[in-house]
Amino acid sequence: MARVTVTDVAKAAGVHPSTVSRALKPETRSLLTEEVATRVLAVAAQLGYHRNTFAAGLRTRRSEMVGVVLPDMTNPVFQPILRGIEEALDAEGLVAIVANAGTDPDRQRSVIQRLLARQVDGLILATAARRETSIDLCLAENVPVVLVNRNETTHRACSVITDDAAGMGLAVTHLRELGHTCIGHLGGPQTASTGAGRLKGFTDAMTQAGLDPTSTVAATAFTREAGEPAATRLLNASPDLSAVVAANDLLALGLYDVLRTRRLRCPDDISVVGHNDMPLVDMIAPPLTTIRIRHREMGLQAARLMLDLMRKTSEGVVDIVLRPELIVRASTAAR
């Protein structure tokens, strides 16, 4: 209740408010006598002082907040990403302020506007489309931006992504080794770099393996619900597929749904490879073979990049590419 200000602390400690301010910040504390600093700190603690972020932010123009924009909070892959981000930011006393903006570009822009209005010191976007326009908003305000999970084609901002081509290579090679030759791709939205990159990765890997790369269908969203109709189209178009590589685990689940209604067995009739290794895919029936992405690591790296940008310790655009890993479970079998 009783709002305690630096002035109150200063009075109680018999010093000037500015001294209190200096005592409170670790980096300016060394300017003060050991004795004064500890006394001020003690008084502050005893009075239950905590600083008013508004006043501080107004003066310093920094908020110690980083905005994180997600397309879809219900997609489990974002949890570990978020965790990684929060962990890294937290260590520096920064706070992540998370907003999920859906997939509509207009809504995304308005969410970003709102975060900028809240004076975030930086913005981590997991929403990037391949041709991302929101970045301009941030550049115009001079706010650092890091893209995570997806990046965009113009390379105006740092990003942390995975090697989609490598992931698709792993999947195709795995199926190839199991004897599959007729392999399809259940793709994601082509507006996202992950959707486009994995499709390209798939066709490249297939071509390189000497297989026909043309059995592909792109879903409209990275969701189980969007996976279902897309999977149906894929199976209808290419009835003799013996394996499908999905661009994402949720799409693979949509495919599972279709297989179930068609009474096709996985992996007996069709092998399925997912992408992401999101939580719980080891529990589903059958446990999903998938490409593991170290999402927490992605979040950590993104936050680190952000810290660098904020402190201007590094310059220029950097892309961090993580190496994916094949996790073999029970949804793939020898042909």
Partner DNA sequence: ATTTTCTATGCAAACGATTGCATGTCCCCT
Partner DNA sequence: AGGGGACATGCAATCGTTTGCATAGAAAAT
- Binding interface with DNA (CB under 7 A): 3, 5-7, 14-19, 21-22, 24-25, 28, 31-33, 35-37, 49, 51-52, 55-56, 58-61
Name the phi and psi angles at 148, rounded to 5. Answer: -125, 140
Q: How far apart are CA 184 and CA 240, in angstroms?
A: 10
Q: Examine residue 297 and tell whether it contacts its own copies (CB under 8 A).
A: no
Looking at the Cβ atoms of 28 and 173, the one nearer to DNA is: 28
With CB under 5 to 8 Å by kind, the binding choice for 102 among DNA, its own copies, none is none
**C-alpha closest to that of 234 among 207, 216, 222, 251:** 216
Q: How far is the CB of 34 from DNA (least distance, A)?
A: 8
Looking at the Cβ atoms of 253 and 307, the one nearer to its own copies is: 253
Q: Examine residue 17 and tell whether it contacts its own copies (CB under 8 A).
A: no
Q: Examine residue 102 and tell whether it contacts its own copies (CB under 8 A).
A: no
* CB atoms closer than 10 angstroms to residue 305: 26
Dihedral angle sign, alpha carbons of residues 307, 312, 313, 314: positive
**C-alpha closest to that of 264 among 288, 246, 239, 289:** 239
Pairing mode, if any, of strands 122-125 and 158-162? unpaired
**Contact yes or no for 126/133 (Cβ under 8 A):** no
With CB under 5 to 8 Å by kind, the binding choice for 16 among its own copies, DNA, none is DNA
Distances from the Cα of 276 to the Cα of 136, 164, 180, 230, angstroms: 29, 11, 22, 19
Looking at the Cβ atoms of 122 and 324, the one nearer to DNA is: 122
* CB atoms closer than 10 angstroms to residue 26: 8
- Tell me which stretch binds its own copies (CB under 8 A): 38-46, 74-82, 150-158, 164-172: 74-82
With CB under 5 to 8 Å by kind, the binding choice for 95 among its own copies, DNA, none is its own copies
Footprint of its own copies (CB under 8 A) = 1, 50-55, 57-58, 63, 73-74, 76, 79-80, 82-83, 86, 95-100, 113-114, 116-119, 140-142, 253, 256, 279-280, 283-286
